[in-house]
């Protein structure tokens, strides 16, 4: 960046910096609000859930936040022949920077200084997903992102930036992952590990460009790893992982195979620094997929392929509509839980609640408030298929579209199951089939085609990179648009926004 010395230039530069910062915040908020992947790379949330940010483990690394992080490692000095040095930590240009530098030129003992940043507490918990955007140091040293408790460890990455020994050359373009289990009192000598490896697309080096590395601690026995939003590995553990963990970012030197960095490398500012752009961590909460509420609208499809209508509250409800209109949209909100299931209410477009009528007569959508008859236990059958149990212990039935619906069925059959399409009212739709599709996605470096499914007179298109920078703002006509590969400047994640007479939609593209 050129320095502008006059006052006018300084003012302009300040405004630009503030605007860019504002854009990043806006994009963070935008992406946070989307259940398909807050901060882009995360996996799809299970049905009925959405990802919610864990503030204490989420940071843009614009500066050191002592309320979230501690410098160094709380109980380890580093991996010999390297040691952690807090002076090798810095925050510059929106990046956490970790350096590997030369401590002793004679290369005796622990001759390398590296660095470590640790979460303030053991805040990473079972069920969470975490991702970080990282560019490795360009030398024979490992830049890492990992979590650890007392007896268990999850390594998101332990990536080499360069390899000195040709036998191990592949490691400089490989995502290295692992878990460790070392119970007390035996500890580390009894380590049970599950190493995993994934080759980067196009054999791109770990130090060549940024990538988003993520891990989902699904449950006690299952871990999944991701690179740029694509799952690259998974493991079913032989031991339960249940304890809370610290989160770490560090650099380590290893004495085996790949080799050690030279003195020149350690003194070279263009090679010795790893860049951590941001970290995002999420927990699963009840979402605005079925049972989630949050203001989005949902449609219920019966086993006859028809949609449930509220009949605008003027008569008993039916399941006989061929398409989704206003009367076929419901606001489904969680108001409690029982037996491990959500208790929900359904509000029609008339602002009234659906009532089970206690099973004594056909159900209606005409109640001003949600009391006992207006609450339903949501039974999840998987694949977005649900049943609704009234407070009378009976189930809502579509009666196959043949007449008014009831809440008086003792058992769950096909007519008591409903496929729920959610996200219908969001400004930015999170239904993967809504608005438009993209192919291929991930693009694998190929040209991407947007398909609207129907011809539009005019559609507005905007493309943003992960930093919130708008790369293109244009309009097009018809049902398709091809994104020029030159717009997608590097591998990574992008947001594609399309607005037309059908609505406004925002989706992620992995390039």
Q: How confident is the model at residue 464 (pLDDT cuts 50, 70, 90)?
A: confident
| Claim to verify: residue 220 and residue 245 sit in the same structural domain | yes
- For residues 491 and 458, the model is more confident at 458
Would the pLDDT of 322 be above 70? yes
Give pLDDT, residue 286. Answer: 67
401: CATH = 2.80.10.50
In this structure, is residue 32 part of a structural domain? no
Element (H, E) at 451: strand 448-465
469: CATH = 2.60.40.3080
Q: How confident is the model at residue 221 (pLDDT cuts 50, 70, 90)?
A: very high
Q: How confident is the model at residue 411 (pLDDT cuts 50, 70, 90)?
A: very high
Among the ranges 67-76, 372-381, 463-472, 478-487, which has the highest mean pLDDT value?
A: 67-76
Among the ranges 424-433, 455-464, 497-506, which has the highest mean pLDDT value?
A: 455-464
Would the pLDDT of 364 be above 80? yes
| Claim to verify: residue 274 and residue 357 sit in the same structural domain | no
| Claim to verify: residue 185 and residue 321 sit in the same structural domain | no
- 3-class DSSP assignment, residue 125: coil
| Claim to verify: residue 189 and residue 333 sit in the same structural domain | no
Which candidate, 143, 47, 127, places its Cα nearest to that of 95?
Answer: 143
Would the pLDDT of 504 be above 80? no
* Strand runs labelled E in 383-426: 385-389, 395-397, 406-409, 418-421
Polymer length in residues for the chain: 511
CA gap 132, 175 in Å, rounded: 13
In this structure, is residue 490 part of a structural domain? yes
| Claim to verify: residue 58 and residue 158 sit in the same structural domain | yes
Residue where the block lists tokens 């500890």: 187
Give pLDDT, residue 173. Answer: 96
Give pLDDT, residue 466. Answer: 65
| Claim to verify: residue 477 and residue 417 sit in the same structural domain | no
Last residue of a domain, one of 262, 286, 310: 286
Average pLDDT of the residues of the chain: 84
| Claim to verify: residue 247 and residue 371 sit in the same structural domain | no
Q: How confident is the model at residue 396 (pLDDT cuts 50, 70, 90)?
A: very high
| Claim to verify: residue 458 and residue 399 sit in the same structural domain | no
Residue 316: what are its φ and ψ, rounded to 5°?
A: -55, 145
Last residue of a domain, one of 232, 252, 286: 286
Q: How confident is the model at residue 214 (pLDDT cuts 50, 70, 90)?
A: very high
Which candidate, 504, 470, 497, 471, places its Cα nearest to that of 485?
Answer: 471
| Claim to verify: residue 282 and residue 242 sit in the same structural domain | yes
Residue where the block lists tokens 């995360």: 42
In this structure, is residue 3 part of a structural domain? no
Instruction: Label residues 82-104 b or e (16+ Cβ within 10 Å = b).
Output: bbbbeebbebeebbbbbbbbbbe
Q: How confident is the model at residue 3 (pLDDT cuts 50, 70, 90)?
A: very low
Element (H, E) at 20: helix 7-32
Maximum Cα interatomic distance, the chain, rounded to a whole number of Å: 89
- 3-class DSSP assignment, residue 168: helix
CA gap 31, 310 in Å, rounded: 32
Q: What percent of the chain has pLDDT over 70?
A: 84
In this structure, is residue 428 part of a structural domain? no
DSSP H helices in 187-276: 263-267
Give pLDDT, residue 341. Answer: 74
Would the pLDDT of 6 be above 50? no
Work out the number of other CB atoms within 10 angstroms of the CB of residue 402.
Answer: 11
Mean pLDDT of 301-329: 92
In this structure, is residue 396 part of a structural domain? yes
Give pLDDT, residue 470. Answer: 74
In this structure, is residue 60 part of a structural domain? yes
- For residues 452 and 313, the model is more confident at 313
Would the pLDDT of 456 be above 90? no
Would the pLDDT of 370 be above 80? yes
| Claim to verify: residue 46 and residue 114 sit in the same structural domain | yes
Mean pLDDT of 125-146: 96
Element (H, E) at 186: none
Tokens, residue 19:
């605007």
Residue 366: what are its φ and ψ, rounded to 5°?
A: -145, 20
Report the number of distinct structural domains present in the chain.
3
Give pLDDT, residue 429. Answer: 36
- For residues 28 and 181, the model is more confident at 181
Q: How confident is the model at residue 243 (pLDDT cuts 50, 70, 90)?
A: very high
86: CATH = 2.60.120.200
Would the pLDDT of 220 be above 80? yes
Mean pLDDT of 391-399: 96
CA gap 303, 315 in Å, rounded: 22
Give pLDDT, residue 230. Answer: 84
Work out the number of other CB atoms within 10 angstroms of the CB of residue 366.
Answer: 19
| Claim to verify: residue 478 and residue 336 sit in the same structural domain | no
In this structure, is residue 21 part of a structural domain? no
CA gap 308, 317 in Å, rounded: 7
Tell me the pLDDT tens digit for each residue of 435-444.
Answer: 788 888 777 7
CA gap 375, 359 in Å, rounded: 13
- 3-class DSSP assignment, residue 359: helix
Q: Which residue range forms the structural domain that includes residue 348? A: 297-421
Last residue of a domain, one of 264, 286, 308: 286
| CB 373 within 8 Å of CB 390 | yes
Contact partners, residue 496, CB within 8 Å, separation at least 6: 438, 450, 461, 462, 463, 483, 506, 507, 508, 509
Q: How confident is the model at residue 47 (pLDDT cuts 50, 70, 90)?
A: low
- 275 to each of 61, 100, 118, 136, how far by Cα in Å? 10, 12, 16, 6
Q: How confident is the model at residue 462 (pLDDT cuts 50, 70, 90)?
A: confident
Tokens, residue 14:
């300040």
Tell me the pLDDT tens digit for each residue of 82-122.
Answer: 999 999 999 998 899 999 999 999 999 999 999 999 999 99
Give pLDDT, residue 468. Answer: 63
| Claim to verify: residue 405 and residue 475 sit in the same structural domain | no
Give pLDDT, residue 489. Answer: 66
In this structure, is residue 34 part of a structural domain? no
CA gap 343, 177 in Å, rounded: 39
Residue where the block lists tokens 């005796």: 108
Element (H, E) at 226: strand 222-227
Q: How confident is the model at residue 343 (pLDDT cuts 50, 70, 90)?
A: confident
Work out the number of other CB atoms within 10 angstroms of the CB of residue 111.
Answer: 19
Give pLDDT, residue 18. Answer: 47
Work out the number of other CB atoms within 10 angstroms of the CB of residue 10.
Answer: 12
Mean pLDDT of 17-31: 47
């Amino acid at each position: 960046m050129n320095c502008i010395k006059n006052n006018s230039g300084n003012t302009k530069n300040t405004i630009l910096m503030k605007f860019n910062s504002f854009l990043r915040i806006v994009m963070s908020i935008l992406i946070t609000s989307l259940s398909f992947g807050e901060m882009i790379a995360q996996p799809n949330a299970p049905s009925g859930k959405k990802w919610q940010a864990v503030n204490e483990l989420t940071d843009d690394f614009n500066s050191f936040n002592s309320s979230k992080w501690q410098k160094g490692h709380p109980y380890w000095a580093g991996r010999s022949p390297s040691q952690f040095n807090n002076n090798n930590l810095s925050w510059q240009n929106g990046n956490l920077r970790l350096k590997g530098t030369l401590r002793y030129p004679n290369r005796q003992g622990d001759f390398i200084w590296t660095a470590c940043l640790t979460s303030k507490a053991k805040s990473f918990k079972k069920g969470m997903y975490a991702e970080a955007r990282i560019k490795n140091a360009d030398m024979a040293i490992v830049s890492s992102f990992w979590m650890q408790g007392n007896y268990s460890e999850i390594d998101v990455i332990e990536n080499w930036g360069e390899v000195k020994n040709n036998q191990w050359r592949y490691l400089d373009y490989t995502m290295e992952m692992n878990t460790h289990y070392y119970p007390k009192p035996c500890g580390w000598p009894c380590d049970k590990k599950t190493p995993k490896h994934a080759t980067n697309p196009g054999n791109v080096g770990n130090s060549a460009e940024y990538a988003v590395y993520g891990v989902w601690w699904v449950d006690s026995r299952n871990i999944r790893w991701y690179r740029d939003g694509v799952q690259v590995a998974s493991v079913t553990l032989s031991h339960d992982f249940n304890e809370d963990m610290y989160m770490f970012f560090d650099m380590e030197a290893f004495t085996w195979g790949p080799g050690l960095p030279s003195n020149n490398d350690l003194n070279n500012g263009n090679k010795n620094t790893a860049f951590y752009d941001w970290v995002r961590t999420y927990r699963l909460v009840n979402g605005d997929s079925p049972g989630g509420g949050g203001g989005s609208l949902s449609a219920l499809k019966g086993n006859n392929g028809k949609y449930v209508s509220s009949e605008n509250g003027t008569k008993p409800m039916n399941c006989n509509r061929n398409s989704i209109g206003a009367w076929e949209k419901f606001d489904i909100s969680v108001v409690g839980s029982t037996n491990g299931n959500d208790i929900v209410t359904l509000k029609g477009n008339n602002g009234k609640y659906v009532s089970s009528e206690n099973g004594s007569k056909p159900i209606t959508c005409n109640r001003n408030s949600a009391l006992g008859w207006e609450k339903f236990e949501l039974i999840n059958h998987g694949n977005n298929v649900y049943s609704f149990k009234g407070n009378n212990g009976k189930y809502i039935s579509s009666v196959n579209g043949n007449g008014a619906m009831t809440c008086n069925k003792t058992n769950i059959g096909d007519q008591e199951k409903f496929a729920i399409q959610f996200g219908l009212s969001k400004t930015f739709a999170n239904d993967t089939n809504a608005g438009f599709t993209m192919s291929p996605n991930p693009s694998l470096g190929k040209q991407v085609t947007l398909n609207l499914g129907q011809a539009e007179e005019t559609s507005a298109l905007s493309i943003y990179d992960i930093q919130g920078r708008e790369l293109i703002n244009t309009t097009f006509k018809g049902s398709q648009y091809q994104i020029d590969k030159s717009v997608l400047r590097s591998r990574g994640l992008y947001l594609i926004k399309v607005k037309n007479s059908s609505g406004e939609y925002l989706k992620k593209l992995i390039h």
